[in-house]
A and B are shown apart, each in its own frame.
Chain A
Amino acid sequence: MKHNAMKEQISAIVRDQLSREQIDELMGFVSQAMHHGLDKEDEVFFCEIAHEMTDGIKELALMIVEFRKDIKSKISPDITEMATTHLPKATDQLEGIIETTEKTANKVMDNLEQMQTQMEQMETLFSALKKGEIKQNGDEPKSLDAEALSLLMPVIKQVEDGLGSHNALISDIFTQMSFQDLTGQRIKQIMNLVGQMEQKLTKMIISFGIQMQEKENNPGISKAEIESKVDEKVCQLAGPQREGQGLAQNDIDDLLGNL
């Protein structure tokens, strides 16, 4: 009889139906149950243990009661902020970095290609000059006399060497632009990770919110039933939404907002 009463009272704590006085009464009852049937020699020792246990159980019971009363403020607002604002913003920022670096790399390559074209034109001119021809603007080439050509040769050679060296530098700068691809790949890996974190965190918060909602709407609902409803709702969120099924965006926003 006494065990059944104890069981009922403990259930009542979980269902948030006991006041502070009633909890004190329950603890007294537990203490009595510990005392009942002990030998006189052990009485002091077991009294002290019983006292410790009752204090501990009382503290736990009160914690559960208080926690249930003010659950919303117990969840760190930072977590929901992280899931709904900071993580999506982080992904956007990273995407922005890829776009900016791609744009800049393309602009640099545009300039480099122009330089390469101009270098090729200069190489053609100097190649013709070495043969004693002056080519200009598509006009008929004019001839250079041998004496003038021999005077110009060292200069032509120096310019050609310079052009070759510049070409090599331009080619090198071009291949260095691959930094954009390499950094982009690393950033995409981070974005995947952030995206996964965002998903998991949002699912956790939604799952928790649904559990609280179901319990409030239906206090007698079992844990298994709640878990089944959570699974159903989370699956709906994960897959494509069919008309009339699943949580609408507003519902999700409200749920997250309430948490």
Chain B
Amino acid sequence: MDLNMQVLIVDDMQTMRRIMKNVLKQIGFSNITEADDGKTALAEIKKKQFDLVLCDWNMPEMTGIDLLKALRADDAFKSIPFVMITAEAKKENIVEAVKAGVNNYIVKPFTAETVSEKLKKVFG
């Protein structure tokens, strides 16, 4: 797993983005960009290449699942590794995310170890 990769964190709660950033820094990532909803994230992805997206589900303007579907529908972005980090833990949500092409799914609250383990699974 290349710790120099460009990571995009997407969550409408500023405290959550801060926590995720801290966890990623502990793992060793340093190139971290933030977005506060799906729409902003999509705009960021179109501006710059990202190697990983960590995204919440429930957000205004554009939800995480809608962002995922939008990326998978676009040839330019359909292969971006996408990990959902969300409090939505219902089976149907997970199934929907998997069907939409999510690479992994982390349920809040999470630990740094869990995030590290899930990311290693994504990147092998």
Name A residues whose Cβ lies closer than 8 Å to a Cβ of B.
102, 105-106, 109, 112-113, 116, 171-172, 174-182, 184-185
Contacts of A102 in B (CB 8 A): 13-15
Chain B positions 56 through 67: 1 when the CB is less than 8 Å from some CB of chain A, otherwise 0: 001000000000
Interface residues of B (CB under 8 A from A): 11, 13-16, 18-19, 22-23, 26, 58, 87, 108-112
A174 / chain B contacts, CB cutoff of 8 Å: 19, 22-23
Q: Which of B11, B18, B58, B108 contacts A109 (CB 8 A)?
A: B18
Please state if B87 and A175 are interface contacts (CB–CB under 8 Å).
Answer: no
Contact of A106 among B18, B110, B111 (CB under 8 A): B18
A172 neighbours in B (Cβ, 8 Å): 111
Assuming the contacts A181-B87, A182-B109, asked whether A175 and B19 have C-beta atoms less than 8 A apart, the reply is: yes
Chain A residue with minimal CB distance to B13? A181
Shortest distance from the beta carbon of A251 to any chain B beta carbon, whole Å = 32
A-B contact count (CB 8 A): 55
Contact yes or no, B87 A182, CB < 8 A: yes
7 sample A-B contacts, Cβ–Cβ < 8 Å, listed by A number: A112-B22, A116-B22, A171-B112, A175-B112, A178-B16, A181-B11, A185-B87
B111 near A175 with CB under 8 A, answer: yes
Chain A contact surface mostly: helix
Given A102-B15, A181-B15, A185-B87, verify A176-B23 contact (CB < 8 Å): no
Bound form: Cα–Cα A106–B19 in Å: 10
Contacts of B11 on A, CB cut-off 8 Å? 181
Which residue of chain B has the shortest Cβ distance to A185 in the bound complex? B87
Whether B15 contacts A180 by the Cβ 8 Å rule is yes
Q: Which B residues lie within 8 Å of A106 (CB)?
A: 14-15, 18
Q: Which of B18, B26, B108, B111 contacts A182 (CB 8 A)?
A: B108
Chain A residues near B18 (CB, 8 Å)? Answer: 106, 109, 177
Cβ contact within 8 Å between A171 and B109: no
**Which of B18, B58, B111 lies at the interface centre, i.e. has the most chain A CB atoms within 10 A of its CB?**
B18
Q: Please determine whether A175 and B110 come into contact, CB atoms closer than 8 angstroms.
A: yes
Interchain nearest-CB distance for A67 vs B (Å): 46
Inter-chain CA distance A109–B17, complex, in Å, is 12
With beta carbons under 8 angstroms apart, the residue of B26, B58, B87 that contacts A171 is B26
Complex Cα distance, B87 from A180, in Å, reads: 12
Please provide the 3 A-B residue pairs with the shortest distance between their CB atoms, ordered closest to farther: A181-B16, A181-B13, A178-B109
CA distance A174 to B20 in the complex (A): 9
Contact of B109 among A109, A113, A175, A184 (CB under 8 A): A175
Q: A109: nearest residue on chain B (CB-CB)?
A: B18
Chain B residues contacting A182 (CB-CB under 8 Å) are 87, 108-109
Complex: how many Å from CA A176 to CA B15? 11
Known: A182-B87, A185-B58. A109 touches B110 (CB 8 A): no
Cα A91 to Cα B37 with chains together (Å): 23
A178 touches B108 (CB 8 A): yes
Are the CB atoms of B111 and A177 closer together than 8 Å? Answer: no
**A113-B19 contact in complex given A106-B14, A175-B109, C-beta closer than 8 Å:** no
